Amino acid sequence: MSNLLTRDYINELRSIIEKKDDGAALEKLEQLHPADIAEMYENLSLEEITYLVLLLDPEKASDVLVELEEDERESFLEALPSEIIASHFIDNMDSDDAADVIGDLAEEKQQEVLLHIDNVDQAGDIVDLLGYDEDSAGGLMAKELIRVNENWGVTTCIREMRKQAADLDEIYYIYVVSDENVLLGVLSLKALLLASASSKVKDIYEADIRSVRTDTDSEEVAQIMEKYDLIVLPVTDSIGRLMGRITIDDVVDVIRDEAEKDYQLASGITTDVETTDSPARLSRARLPWLIIGLLGGIVVSGVISRFEEDIQINPEMAFFIPLIAAMAGNVGIQSSAIIVQGIASNSLGLESTIRKLGKEVVVALMNGLILATILFLYNFFINHNLALTFTVSSSLLVVIMFAALFGTMIPLFLNRLKIDPALATGPFITTMNDIMGLFIYFLMGRLLYGAFM
């Protein structure tokens, strides 16, 4: 919670709301950023937060609405008439934010809100954006930008830019287009200011520009902007016509959402969930991998029962079952996490993949030798059992090597099948390495233990 949003502050605000003292409420809200006001949603009732937001001027109110979490925004908008949503919020938003807000509404209410938007061009832009996949560049972009024609003179260019700037909060780039609206490049303000009045735009613009198409995946957009340190990226259609632009704040949201999704997948949660979701939805998201874990445990018990006679003959081997299973799971998760990170950053080509595999083998061998040595010394001096010492230490080294290779290969295999490799860093790797690690342990026990007896 913000430093300003103390318990006393919230209680004082509640008292003001009860009295319906509009002036005092506005005075309290004046010092808060829209993000701070949105944060109060957790501490106030829906009626109280609605009262406060509707008191704000439309521009600040729309900023607060954008800052709300999706589920909070959905419940907030459900309580408002369509004409209020349109006039008090949508009319004061950039097209990308407006499309996100309207996209959260039921289809019938979407139509009602669009009909109440006074600016027909703005409504048309929103409708266009709603037609794109939300996980594509088209779904991220905003329509507001500055575009100039290559054939314009400097004077015409400045006059037209002034008209277009009225719809923008920030001007990042001036985009140069052809008569057919095909993106050609960018025009810097410096070049524009230093150009003579007789110059044409086509004589002073820079043709070197990066762009993406409307159907480009949002993750790829984020990778491009991160790689080239871009704060804004133009979006074109399939024939190069300028359609909009994506700003860094939209990409930060994509990176955060993708990180949350990968974290949930790695934790064995199969669908995107929030803490505010119903117990039934939370249960459905977690249950599949828990069932897989249960089945894996059943298989592990089968592996142990398969070597029951070996355990009866050498019962001390059972003491190290938890150690072998834990080490196999931990090593597998570490290896898979490194590979998933490389896949996510799009840095794993064929050559780098081979290098990664080789490096993981070397790392596994080094770690395996160190850990096996520690375990060897423990058994040698504590248990005084030479057969157990060699068997457990050798098994641990082999299990670590296998777990590292398995943890490296599985994410690559899943990525090849177009399955999110983050799945490999969760219960799947742990369960499979438990099974294979114990199988290797008992098999080596059968082969080695008798040799040292």
What's the rounded Cα separation, in Å, for the pair 48 and 382?
67
Tens-place pLDDT, residues 370-407? 999 999 998 888 877 788 888 889 999 999 998 888 88
Band of pLDDT at residue 447, cut at 50, 70 and 90: confident
What is the pLDDT, as a whole number, of residue 250? 86
What is the pLDDT, as a whole number, of residue 267? 59
Full strand arrangement of the beta sheet holding 242-247: 212-213, 232-236, 242-247
* Residue 267 or residue 278, greater confidence: 278
What is the pLDDT, as a whole number, of residue 112? 92
Q: Give whichever of 1-5, 71-75, 275-279 has the largest mean pLDDT.
A: 71-75
Q: Give whichever of 137-151, 261-275, 315-329, 331-345 has the largest mean pLDDT.
A: 137-151
C-alpha distances out from residue 358 to 333, 361, 362, 363, 409, Å: 17, 5, 6, 9, 12
What is the pLDDT, as a whole number, of residue 273? 59
Give CA torsion, residues 276, 281, 286, 292, to 10 deg.
Answer: 180
Look at 110-119, 322-331, 414-423 and tell me which has the smallest mean pLDDT.
Answer: 414-423
List the domain boundaries for the chain: 7-135, 146-257, 279-452
**Average pLDDT over the chain, rounded to an integer:** 84
What's the rounded Cα separation, in Å, for the pair 280 and 24?
42
Q: If you average pLDDT over residues 351-365, what whole number do you get?
A: 79
Helices (H) then strands (E): counts for the chain: 22, 6
Provide the token pair at 141. 């972009």
What is the pLDDT, as a whole number, of residue 202? 93
Provide the token pair at 151. 């054939």
% of the chain at pLDDT higher than 70:
88
What is the pLDDT, as a whole number, of residue 54? 92
Asked if the model's pLDDT at residue 252 lies above 90, the reply is no
What's the rounded Cα separation, in Å, for the pair 232 and 168?
14
**Structural contact between residues 104 and 135, judged by C-beta atoms closer than 8 angstroms:** no
Pick among 3.30.70.100, 1.25.60.10, 1.10.10.10, 2.40.50.1020: CATH of 7-135? 1.25.60.10
Give CA torsion, residues 397, 403, 404, 407, to 10 deg.
Answer: 180
* Residue 284 or residue 451, greater confidence: 284
What is the pLDDT, as a whole number, of residue 15? 92
% of the chain at pLDDT higher than 90:
35
- Chain-centre distance of CA 155, in angstroms? 44
Cβ atoms within 10 Å of 453's Cβ, excluding its own = 10
Q: Which fold has domain 146-257?
A: CBS-domain (3.10.580)
What is the pLDDT, as a whole number, of residue 256? 79
What is the pLDDT, as a whole number, of residue 263? 62
What is the pLDDT, as a whole number, of residue 391? 86
Tens-place pLDDT, residues 13-47? 999 999 999 999 999 888 889 999 998 888 888 89
Tens-place pLDDT, residues 201-210? 999 999 989 9
418: region left, alpha or beta (phi > 0 left; psi from -120 to 50 alpha)? left
Band of pLDDT at residue 424, cut at 50, 70 and 90: low
**Amino acid symbol at 131:** G
What is the pLDDT, as a whole number, of residue 174? 92
What angle separates helix 350-378 from helix 321-344, to the nearest 10 degrees?
A: 160
What is the pLDDT, as a whole number, of residue 430? 79
Band of pLDDT at residue 319, cut at 50, 70 and 90: confident
What is the pLDDT, as a whole number, of residue 287? 74
What is the pLDDT, as a whole number, of residue 266? 59
* Residue 41 or residue 423, greater confidence: 41
* Residue 306 or residue 428, greater confidence: 306
What is the pLDDT, as a whole number, of residue 268? 56
Tens-place pLDDT, residues 228-244? 899 999 999 999 999 99
What is the pLDDT, as a whole number, of residue 184? 96
Query: Phi and psi (nearest 5°) for 230?
Result: -95, 140
Q: Which fold has domain 279-452?
A: Tetracycline Repressor; domain 2 (1.10.357)
